[in-house]
Amino acid sequence: MSTSIYQQFTDYIKNETPVALATIIEGPGVGAKLLVARVDGVEKVIGSLGHPELDRVVARDTAGELEAGRTGVRHYGPEGQATPEDLIDTPTVVVFIESFSPAPQLWIFGAVDFTAALGRVAKVLGYRVTVCDAREIFATKRRFPMADEVMVTWPTPMFEKRGSTLGPRDAVCILTHDPKFDVPAVQGALSTSVGYIGVMGSRKTHNKRLERLAEVGVNSPEQLSRLMSPIGLDLGGRTPEETAIAICAEIIARRTGHSATSLKNTDGAIHS
């Protein structure tokens, strides 16, 4: 590691700035490094892998990995081809990306069948998954082996104790369908700066829930605009797994501010 990158890296780590290092581990330029940090929401890129286009593509992927708090190996062409046009005649650049940032959190309220499917898909996306339910017989690690944590708890104490750890990268999904749980879970989530709040239920359940929320003073347009309810994109899926895709797709689109319509039917660059 060059002295200047090392210096920057250690400074960022000391300041608790999320930072990721991309290193060429195979192919032309072995050992070259790119450092990507997110400072006040803006990405800073330091170093070079030897080609401006390779730098651009790897910086983009590294920023994505950093956002998800993930570490892994990626393959590129020497000029940054994500899936090189003619890899047969060209050496592949193998890049190891390491994120120094906590994984984003997903808290799921409700130990139901949708919970397991959502947990599995969220794990692929790199989330730290916490399942919360007040019912001891349902909230078990055995039912949710994919969860990093299964908490037997009501929503209010959970948010009081740990709500301050939730930020824009994190998500809360309320799958309980039960006002006893989902009203305090919504109140708790709204009291944090969590980036995504989804609440499951039919349109009828949604309308009843709005009444109950109004009764406890949750009725401002700002508050209601943060609630994704009914949860998920309209994919027409039926199974818990399809619902999990609909929810995760909405979480991604909401974070990036994209439209979630088919790219086929939109214009402009795919990556902004």
110 to 169, contacts with its own copies by CB under 8 A?
110, 112-114, 117, 120-121, 124-126, 135, 138
The residues in 35-94 that bind its own copies, with binding defined as CB under 8 A, are 60-61, 63-65, 67-68, 70, 74-75, 81-88
Shortest distance, position 217 Cβ to its own copies, whole Å: 21
- Cβ within 8 Å of residue 177, ≥6 positions away: 110, 112, 200, 201, 205
The answer to the question of residue 186 lying near its own copies (CB under 8 A) is: no
Nearer to its own copies, 28 or 240 (CB): 240
How far, in Å, CA of 141 to CA of 148, rounded? Answer: 9
The answer to whether 184 and 154 are in contact (CB under 8 A) is yes
Number of residues located near its own copies, criterion CB under 8 A: 79
User: Is residue 29 within the footprint of its own copies (CB under 8 A)?
Assistant: no
Asked if 178 touches its own copies (CB under 8 A), the answer is yes
Residue closer to its own copies (CB basis): 32 or 200: 200
- Phi and psi at 17, nearest 5°, equal -85, 130
Nearer to its own copies, 14 or 203 (CB): 203
CB closer to its own copies, 1 vs 63: 63
**What's the CA gap between 68 and 85, in Å, rounded?**
28
Among 58, 103, 166, 200, binds its own copies (CB under 8 A): 200
Cite the DSSP H helix spans in 69-217: 113-124, 155-162, 179-190, 203-215
Round to whole Å and give the CA distance between 20 and 194.
23
How crowded is the C-beta side of 112, counted as CA atoms within 13 Å?
Answer: 18
Neighbours of 145 (CB within 10 A): 11
22 binds its own copies per the rule CB under 8 A: no
CB of 187 to its own copies, least distance (A): 19
Q: State which residue, 20 or 46, has the beta carbon closest to its own copies.
A: 20
